[in-house]
């Protein structure tokens, strides 16, 4: 499959008739990745998510390079209204919109929202049931005045240290803190909705990049607490398994192979006819093999080097051993598992091109959560939303003529 030839998101009827968050309205003031991820998750789960954009649009609409995928991925299942929030009329529109909302989500500086009168302290006075999700660089504390980015917190939070080689910190190959931080924001919003059913009151939810990063490296912190030994960066780590590595094989191809545990070691040796290795008492247990990696791994690399990656994959799959091809992201559009299980949904980009997009990695009742709305064009839903708030066509025309609202026909 190519990006121009997406398959249906679900091979059989699989979108729940009533999604879990159906009837919940979210108004979001977000840009980049963290805040939009929160809205995307809530929207995928059925909420009506209204993205309030400046008249020039979310800046991620125009990003190049590694940022080019931000807008279409994290802004599906949303509506767009474009407003001038610096104008009194624009603020009036947005306050009327918020009055209909269950959740407000934002990831701007606190001072920005305060100046607009859109901070939690101001809005909660108007509606005590309102849930307000704030996505920040840091939770309140000594660092909360700093400007944070995903890479910033990866560097200061130990993740870049763990990913790179010693002396060569390296960020992870995805916006992991932004994405997970947004998902934690969505989790907090859903928890607050549950609590509101009990108390009748909303609350502020805060999620932050730095604290998310600390959660990601917590396993390494606890490793030190338990063992007294500092965790080594991943390229230099002592693997807990004897065979757990990338192998270069026939034709220069690469494949990841793993043999974890003593039963798998027996299966592996039998599958490849390595009776001599199975009989070697220096390799009897997994811990023995870990200690023997210095001489065992070069030997295994030599023995497997002339086999093809496809042959190795077939043997490992046939015997239930863990393996993985080394795959670049663009090739995942063609992944047979994603295609067969409805993991990719057809989607129209704002410029009209057709592609596919990965869905949330979960099922509800055996069903994937599909795409209801394509990533919106700037201001695509402005007119309909204004009408739903009680604005007449004449009033909308005045707002458009005065440059307060962008409302394309």
For residue range 47-76, what is the model confidence (pLDDT) as tens digits?
999 999 999 999 999 999 999 999 999 999
Asked whether the predicted pLDDT for residue 359 surpasses 70, the reply is yes
Average pLDDT, the chain: 94
Domain 25-218+343-406: assigned CATH number: 3.40.50.10540
For residues 226 and 265, give the distance between their C-alpha atoms in angstroms, rounded to a whole number.
28
Which tens digits make up the pLDDT trace of 381-391? 999 999 999 99
- CA torsion angle 382 400 60 207 (round to 10): -60
Tell how far CA 166 is from the center of its chain.
28
CATH superfamily of 239-329: formyl-coa transferase, domain 3 (3.30.1540.10)
For residues 77 and 37, give the distance between their C-alpha atoms in angstroms, rounded to a whole number.
11
User: Would you list the domain boundaries of the chain?
Assistant: 25-218+343-406, 239-329
Q: What is the DSSP letter of 252?
A: G
Instruction: Give the number of residues written for the chain.
Output: 409
Percent over 90 (pLDDT), the chain: 93
Fold: same for 25-218+343-406 and 239-329: no
**Token pair in block for residue 305:** 């080097």
What is the H or E stretch that residue 340 is in?
A: helix 336-340
Question: Is the model's pTM score more than 0.95?
Answer: no
Asked whether the predicted pLDDT for residue 6 surpasses 70, the reply is no
Asked whether the predicted pLDDT for residue 177 surpasses 80, the reply is yes
Looking at residue 254, what is its pLDDT?
A: 97
Confidence band of 409 (pLDDT split at 50, 70, 90): confident
For residues 375 and 97, give the distance between their C-alpha atoms in angstroms, rounded to a whole number.
20
The stretch 182-195 carries a mean pLDDT of 98
**In 163-302, which ranges are E strands?**
204-208, 243-248, 254-259
Looking at residue 17, what is its pLDDT?
A: 67
Contact 385, 53 (CB under 8 A): no
Which tens digits make up the pLDDT trace of 252-270? 999 999 999 999 999 999 9
CA angle 307, 312, 315 (to 5 degrees): 130
Helix, strand, coil percentages for the chain (3-state, nearest 5): 45, 15, 40
């Amino acid at each position: 499959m190519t990006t121009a030839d997406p398959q249906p998101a679900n091979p059989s009827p699989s979108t729940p008739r009533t999604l879990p968050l159906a009837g919940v309205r979210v108004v979001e003031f977000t840009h980049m990745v963290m805040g939009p991820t929160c809205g995307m998750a809530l929207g995928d789960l059925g909420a009506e998510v209204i993205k309030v954009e400046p008249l020039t649009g979310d800046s991620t609409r125009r990003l190049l390079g590694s940022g080019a995928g931000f807008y279409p991925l994290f802004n599906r299942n949303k509506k767009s209204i474009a407003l001038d929030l610096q104008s009194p009329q624009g603020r009036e529109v947005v306050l009327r919109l918020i009055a209909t909302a269950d959740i407000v989500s934002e990831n701007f500086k606190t001072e920005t929202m305060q100046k607009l009168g859109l901070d939690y302290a101001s809005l909660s006075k108007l509606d005590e049931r309102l849930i307000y999700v704030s996505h920040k660089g840091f939770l309140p504390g000594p660092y909360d005045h700093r400007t944070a980015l995903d890479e910033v917190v990866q560097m200061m939070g130990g993740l870049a240290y763990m990913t790179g080689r010693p002396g060569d910190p390296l960020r992870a190959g995805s916006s992991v803190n932004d994405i997970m931080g947004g998902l934690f924001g969505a989790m907090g919003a859903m928890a607050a909705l549950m609590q509101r059913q009990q108390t009748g009151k909303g609350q502020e939810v805060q999620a932050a990049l730095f604290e998310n990063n600390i959660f990601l490296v917590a396993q390494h912190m606890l490793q030190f607490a338990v063992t007294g030994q500092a965790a080594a960066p991943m390229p230099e780590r002592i693997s807990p398994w004897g065979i757990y590595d990338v192998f270069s094989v026939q034709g220069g191809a690469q494949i990841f192979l793993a043999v974890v545990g003593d039963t798998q070691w027996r299966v592996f040796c039998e599958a490849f006819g390595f009776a001599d290795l199975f009989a070697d008492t220096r390799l009897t247990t997994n811990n023995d093999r870990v200690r023997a990696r210095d001489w065992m791994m070069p030997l295994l690399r030599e023995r497997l080097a002339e086999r093809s990656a496809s042959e190795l994959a077939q043997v490992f799959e046939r015997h239930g051993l863990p393996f993985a091809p080394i795959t670049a992201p663009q090739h995942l559009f063609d992944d047979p598992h994603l295609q067969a299980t409805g993991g990719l949904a057809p989607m129209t980009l704002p410029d009209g091109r057709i592609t596919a997009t990965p869905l949330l990695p979960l099922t509800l009742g055996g069903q994937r959560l599909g795409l209801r709305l394509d990533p919106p064009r700037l201001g695509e839903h402005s007119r309909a939303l204004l009408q739903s708030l009680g604005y007449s066509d004449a009033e909308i025309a005045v707002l458009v003529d005065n440059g307060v609202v962008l409302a394309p026909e």
